[in-house]
Amino acid sequence: MAATLYILTILTTLVCSVLLLRSWLRVRNGLLLWSGLCFAGLTIDNILVLGDMVLFPSIDLYTYRLASAAISISLLLFGLIWERQ
């Protein structure tokens, strides 16, 4: 049951990332790019959660999960600040 939830979160963030980046290709609005990159990073984070909790429970991926989430949110924050100027 937990694996199903992890897979659904991966698919959700992947679809959001694809839709945002595809929209960015049409419109060329910078905020769409930063949001799409953030969701791409969150997709990687969710893949690491699946790997950590289900696929490789003996390997600790917690640090990598936190790093990917921090980088993703930092990209969005940078984009929000950059587009504000």
Distance CA 59, CA 73 (A): 25
Model pTM score? 0.92
70 or 83, greater pLDDT: 70
3: tokens are 């694996």
50: tokens are 């699946």
Q: Per residue in 27-54, pLDDT tens?
A: 999 999 999 999 999 999 999 999 999 9
| CB atoms near residue 27 (< 10 Å) | 11
Helices (H), 1-85: 2-27, 30-50, 62-84
- Domain spans in the chain, listed from the N-terminal domain onward: 2-84
